[in-house]
A and B are shown apart, each in its own frame.
Chain A
Amino acid sequence: ETGVTQTPRHLVMGMTNKKSLKCEQHLGHNAMYWYKQSAKKPLELMFVYSLEERVENNSVPSRFSPECPNSSHLFLHLHTLQPEDSALYLCASSQQGRLGGYTFGSGTRLTVV
């Protein structure tokens, strides 16, 4: 247990489905992140929430929609995904002003069929 919990661990969804990924941290951190990890590619930063405000990432398709209701919870809402969106989605948190790096969750393995 790293202090960052992601659910579900595995998700299979059709291209017309709507699903949500959940991330929860109880480390007292004030910044949270979504990363996408695909085979043979560097980790891609998708979204950043700092003090519950979103930092836009214009390269992420609108079929991915983040939500941060409070500093401990982060969601990634998914709709009309494509097979190429299949990947490991990692959540992370950090404390701004502290040089301690980031704490990652174990990820959600998403398969789009």
Chain B
Amino acid sequence: GDSVTQMEGPVTLSEEAFLTINCTYTATGYPSLFWYVQYPGEGLQLLLKATKADDKGSNKGFEATYRKETTSFHLEKGSVQVSDSAVYFCALSDNSGGGADGLTFGKGTHLIIQP
């Protein structure tokens, strides 16, 4: 079945550091890939997405590129802020029509940014 593997945290960085959170996946067909972010006490928010190979999703300074050859969707940000502290989830949907199969999530990576 489908699965998503992401680095487990916590990941602790200083403000303005470069961030990479690795994500790899296994899936049949051509999945859509997502990064979600969860701030303390809240639900998940869509951060960015990519729906086909070589697509780059970007939002709020975060980027991720859909790499089919390495089955990866690593999240990057050039300069993190304290407000980026949260839990980040990589996810895939294996129904290209966005159908009702549900998303498959990684375990989440807790990111802590220190001033």
Contacts and interface: CB of A to CB of B under 8 A. Distances in A.
Residues of A in contact with B, size category: 20 to 34
- Contact residues of B: prevailing secondary structure: loop
Contacts of A2: 43, 45
A103 B97 CA distance: 16
B56 interface: no
A99 B51 contact: yes
5 contacts: A43-B108, A48-B102, A95-B98, A98-B98, A104-B45
B39 to A, nearest CB: 10
A27 interface: no
Interface of B: 4, 32, 34, 36, 41-46, 49, 51, 89, 93, 96-108
Given A42-B107, A43-B89, A101-B93, 7 more contacts: A4-B43, A31-B100, A41-B107, A49-B100, A94-B98, A98-B98, A104-B44
A20 B101 CA distance: 24
A6 B41 CA distance: 13
Interface in A75-109: 90, 92, 94-107
Contact of A106 (B32, B43, B89, B104): B43
A100 B98 contact: yes
Contacts of A95: 98
A94 B96 contact: no
Interface of A: 2, 4, 6, 31, 33, 40-43, 45, 48-51, 55, 90, 92, 94-107
Nearest to A102: B103
Contacts of A31: 99-100
Contacts of A104: 36, 43-45
A96 B99 contact: yes
